[in-house]
Amino acid sequence: MRGICKIVGSFLFLLTTLFVNARTINVGKSRALKSIQSAVNISENGDTILVDPGLYKEGGIIIQKSIVLKGINYPVIDGELKHEILFIKGKNIIIDGFRLQNTGRSELKEIGAIMIYDSYQISAINNIVDNANFGITLQNSKKCTVKNNSITAYGKSEVQSGNGIHCWKSDSLLIIGNKIAGHRDGIYFEFVTNSLVWRNISRKNVRYGIHFMFSNHDTYIGNIFEENESGVAVMYTKFIYMYNNYFLNNWGGAAYGILLKDITDSEISGNVFTRNTSALHMEACSRINLYKNSFTNNGFAIKIQASCDNNDFTQNNFKGNTFDIGTNGSLVLNTFNGNYWDKYEGYDLNHDNVGDVPYHPVSMYSMIIESNPAALMLFRSLIVSLLDKSEKLLPGITPENLKDERPLMRPLRL
């Protein structure tokens, strides 16, 4: 009992010591400390640095102590188009409430507004990042939070642009409520595991709204990816869970709502795909459950390559798409059952909301376009309608076993 009391007493003494020793350091043009770096230099673990409003032209600020750096009314830290702004390496650091602008650029080195390396429990919250090469970068870090930041760049090409939120070889990240625009990729994940991407808006980026590779056991919920040059790309990954996201207005010759390449053992549910060239493009994907998604007013709702197998599509709505399904082969190893198709012309004699005859969602014309894209100029012509009608009567080109055995007569409420 005495030993336990001694341990508890020592712990309380330590907490009291830390609380007493923690200080608040003020920085401002009318303060004794006029630069942020000078305040960081004299700070100790547990301190809070409060920065007054104003313009601070001091890129290359290095933080390696467990401190809170908080801005009052968004003070501006300007990299003067020369420097990275904040270099962070440590643990238990918070960056809150700054406007970070005008970083330098380099073709040899990643330069950005908030650069986090080899760190643990870093939080970058409530910041405005403007005209940065890379917005917020995390490398080899764990349990970090990037939340409620506005990250805007003005990139014109992939080569000259960095990523908005760039994450590499990290674990247990929280990327929440950020707004990203104008970067190469809005959010980039590579070798990132066990992380959550929630309620972000990524739009009008030069390449992808989100781009991730070799990143397993991640979850994406309630994000909006809109008007990105190439949509969204997910590659070489397993155990991905994507729920209730929006893929909107991603148009172009090489644009997708989402491109899935070499994805396995994952779930995609509750997502909305609207006005995309190809809403969902799948290559070499296996064991994915896709259910309760909405595909509306897209060019192709789904393009699924013959390299895909054991994927299950059920309880999805297909409405107003030019083509519901496109494929490049006759061998189909995936299942489509219990979906609603607005092009279905079957009947329901027993009124159980399930069609009495199967629906074949692949049209002959879509197969022709797959092998000869120039045939798209015949779209909406009489000959195309005749080809598709004749194919329904005498199937020959379209894959016979790609069909929905239980098509729904009414759309699902999703």
Measured distance CA(338)–CA(409) in Å, rounded: 10
Enter the tokens of residue 392: 């329904």
**pLDDT at residue number 117:** 97
Residue 165 lies in a domain: yes
Q: In sequence order, what are the beta bridge partners of 193?
A: 171
Residue 281 lies in a domain: yes
Measured distance CA(374)–CA(58) in Å, rounded: 55
| 339-386 pLDDT tens trace | 999 999 888 888 899 999 999 888 655 555 565 665 555 555 555 555
Cβ atoms of 386 and 346 within 8 Å: the answer is: no
| Amino acid occupying residue 321 | N
Residue 166 lies in a domain: yes
Enter the tokens of residue 210: 């989100």
Tally of structural domains, the chain: 1
CA torsion through residues 345, 351, 357, 359, sign: positive
Residue 69 lies in a domain: yes
Measured distance CA(407)–CA(110) in Å, rounded: 51
Residue 17 lies in a domain: no
Residue 399 lies in a domain: no
**pLDDT at residue number 138:** 98
**Cα Rg of the chain, angstroms:** 26
**pLDDT at residue number 18:** 42
Q: Which stretches of the chain drop beneath a pLDDT of 70?
A: 1-21, 331, 363-400
Residue 1 lies in a domain: no
CB atoms within 10 A of CB 347: 10
Give the CATH number, domain containing residue 313: 2.160.20.10
**pLDDT at residue number 17:** 41
| 180-206 pLDDT tens trace | 999 999 999 999 999 999 999 999 999
**pLDDT at residue number 399:** 60
Task: Supply φ then ψ for residue 38, to 5 degrees.
Answer: -65, -35
Residue 119 lies in a domain: yes
Cβ atoms of 408 and 340 within 8 Å: the answer is: yes
**pLDDT at residue number 79:** 95
**pLDDT at residue number 411:** 94
In 3D, which of 112, 205, 114 has the Cα closest to residue 156? 205
**pLDDT at residue number 351:** 87
The boundaries of the domain holding residue 198 are 23-393
How far are the Cα atoms of 88, 93, 303, 310, 399 from residue 328, in angstroms, in the given order? 49, 51, 9, 17, 10
